[in-house]
Chain A
Amino acid sequence: MTRTISALLLSTALALPATAEEFTWAVTTDPQTMDPHAVNSAPVLGFLNNVYEGLVRRGKDMSVEPALATSWEPIGDGEGWRFALRQGVTFQDGAEFNADDVIFSYERASNEASDTRSWFAPVKEVVKVDDFTVDFLTNAPNPIFPGSIANWMIMDSGWAEANNAALPDKENGNFATLNANGTGAFRVTAREPGLRTVLQPHEGWWGEAEHNITKATLQPIQNPATALAALLSGDVDFINPVPIQDVARLQDNPDVKVIQGIEARVIMLGFPHEAEALKFSAETTDANPFADVRVRQAVAHAVNVPAILQTIMRGNAEEVSQLVSPAMNGYSASLAARPAHDPEKAKALLAEAGYADGFSFGLKCPNNRYLNDEAVCQAVTGMLAQVGITATLDAMPVQNYWPELRADNYDMYLLGWSPGTFDAEHPIRFLASTPNEEKKLGSWNFGGYSNARVDELLPMIQSEIDQGKRQSMIDEAHKILQDEMAYVPLYVQPLVWGARSNIDLTQRPDNFFILRWVTVN
């Protein structure tokens, strides 16, 4: 009898190290799709980085490191890049990874049906050299190309074709919207949109696991206060973001920890540059005041950014003057001054533009995408009203927000942009280039801002190898964008994560939560 008990105890003791390390985390926005090429947005790409992999990936300090490619080198005199692929990699369904999957994923991700199309604007052609070598030929020398495709994820061609998902379907969805099959460290074992998504380690992963997770569950909790309560009670192990107003209180709680950093994301106001008339105005129905640069400058002078940072952001964010934050490569230090808060000047500019009596318009805003986004929009509405232009604020969940912007249903909108490449070229390509389907440019330039010189500068910036010359070109582009007030950059959003104190993790500045760096103690 005693022997049985001791044997039982022994076996229990032996079984202990294998205890399931379950991990649950909460986010505000559920990734709207599992398809890595359907939606180019941080909640989707950030989550899928745990499931899918690209040829290269970013490390803890955002440096570019090998993933599905083991090495890469420029071809000739800047004609393109040659990638040597990793051998012996299997997808989560067991299929082998090779060059055909890379070609397939290129065609899929650069297709018109894909939201990631613009990543491949510099690419002329992709050539399979052999089963484990692929050449990317570029239109012009492109020194930053490998880093620019870190979020381009490789999908198995056989799996996609067998499941009728050879192309992404943004609108209606297809098999790849609900299922995933990557080469990453985790595979999706259950997906209930809006409720929970369960991940389990991919046993056949090529890499060395740093984590000790056996099961991870993503739970969208829209209300930040509810998410915080869930963290405090231990229902979830990690939340992103922590409501700014609760940071101070959380820091005093020994059960949880706050991980803070400066994010790469710049929050800005956008305008309908191309629209002929305002859509939501009570009286100005035949003109578009925002087409006038003086009106845009007036908006910039009317918004009191320091006040927003002081109250709504509680001193946890920094103001910014351009489309990238100071931490990014290519930031123009010479153009660091923001338009000062000056309501009188704003009124004068409006009067000069012929709107001395102001006008009314519609401001669109997400209410679950950026930190305190709706509160910031409310504050902006108040500040604009003080110089005589009255906005009707329409705040909505992000799922409805992007379609609304794509349908041009706004007179002004709030946008946050985080350059996936950590380089100033990225927002110029996405937000400031004249939208061009064919060249895959300006795909998030909702307002259709267009400047011939900026369009001319972009390919030069992309292909310039000399850092000094490149910086002066970026400076020139930033100067134009500032002078024309193409957007009104407001501030750099802070990164605030909260975790239970037994969780070890790494915060990457692009706000991507990488599960394979998590340890549950």
Chain B
Amino acid sequence: MALTSNVHDKGRWERFRDSDFFFAFKRSPVALVSFTIVCILVFSAVFAPWIAPTNPFNPASLNLMDGFTPPMEPNAFTGTRFLMGTDDQGRDVFSTILYGMRVSLFVGASAVLFAMVLGIVLGLVSGYFGGWTETIIMRIADVQLTFPSILVAMLIFGIAKGFTPVEYRDQMAIWVLILAIGLSDWVQFARVVRGTTLVEKKKDYVAAALLIGRRPWAIMIKHILPNALSPVLVIATISLALAIIAEATLSFLGVGAPPTQPSLGTLIRIGQGFLFSGEWWILFFPACTLLVLALSVNLLGDWLRDALNPRLR
């Protein structure tokens, strides 16, 4: 059996399984653990409606008398037990975390995707065309780098909010948040892609592609971009952790996800009001979840950088 499998052409999965990349992954406990944690968290966020014991955002299902129940202890009035306790409205903290993580991950991932697309396009354009286009785009990037990204995000969020009619603000808040974080985060992608483009565009295969009459867009995307994909992937992973934290920061400051669609940051903000009075669990569990989520994504990103870029090892 083993012999035959050695003879026939390897499938994609087998090629992946035999690659250096997978080998490095198997050998790295950090990568294994953080990958498992990220998988569990993403899975439970995506399937929150089926996993969560209650839907905390259906007001009809709440019982106010369940409020302020400590974790694992029975409520004084209703006798109900909750894994992570309840908040002031009697919402199950565990369920709110699952739903909150959905918002956090969705905003984080969408913002990174947005930043990535924007950064890749601008990086390719400025690297390939050069001249004024490059100067303008890269100077904007330089200027933006001098501001902390959270400040840029707050600025964009504030302006966008001003243009949204009051009645749509809550629905729009999530999208505005994605836009704000995405716009504050495109610079890194643009710089990396531009650097690769500058190197690659002078190579013979690009000249050959030009000679046979391929259009600039086709050359940029089909020929040059694949060379930049590994660093982009690494930056995207690390940006994801940063975007999740940026979203939590904005929501904590009260300018992010609204209480009707709370993210982990909103939950931490709500919980902060009960810290002095001893209801620690309303703050503690969302904060821990955020910590674990951001840390595992970050460690995974770090490992990815090492694995994909052997020169750094």
Contacts and interface: CB of A to CB of B under 8 A. Distances in A.
A481 B88 CA distance: 32
A502 B33 CA distance: 55
Contacts of B278: 249
B277 A249 contact: yes
A266 to B, nearest CB: 20
A225 B59 contact: no
A460 interface: no
B227 to A, nearest CB: 50
A507 interface: no
B161 to A, nearest CB: 13
A374 B258 CA distance: 13
A391 to B, nearest CB: 8
A393 B89 CA distance: 14
B64 A246 contact: no
A311 B277 contact: no
B272 A225 contact: yes
Nearest to B66: A311
B167 A375 contact: no
B273 interface: yes
Listed residue (B67, B272, B274) with the most chain A CB atoms within 10 angstroms of its CB:
B67
B62 A382 contact: yes
A375 B89 contact: yes
Contact of A311 (B59, B90, B166, B259): B90
A408 to B, nearest CB: 14
A248 B59 contact: no
B274 A245 contact: yes
Interface residues of B, number: 25
Chain B interface SS verdict (over half): loop
A386 B65 contact: no
Nearest to A387: B60
Contacts of B273: 223-225, 243, 245
A382 B275 contact: no
A34 B245 CA distance: 41
Interface in A219-250: 223-225, 228-229, 243, 245-246, 248-249
Nearest to A375: B88
A228 B276 contact: yes
Contacts of A246: 276-277
Interface in A309-335: 310-312
A382 B167 contact: no
A225 B89 contact: no
A224 B273 CA distance: 7
Contacts of B65: 307, 310-311
Given A224-B273, A378-B89, A307 B59 contact: no
Interface in A326-383: 374-375, 378-379, 381-383
Q: Considering the complex of A and B, which 8 residue pairs feature the smallest CB-CB distances, nearest first?
A: A245-B277, A385-B60, A311-B67, A382-B59, A385-B59, A382-B62, A307-B64, A246-B276
10 contacts: A225-B276, A245-B273, A245-B279, A249-B277, A280-B167, A307-B65, A308-B64, A310-B77, A374-B259, A385-B59
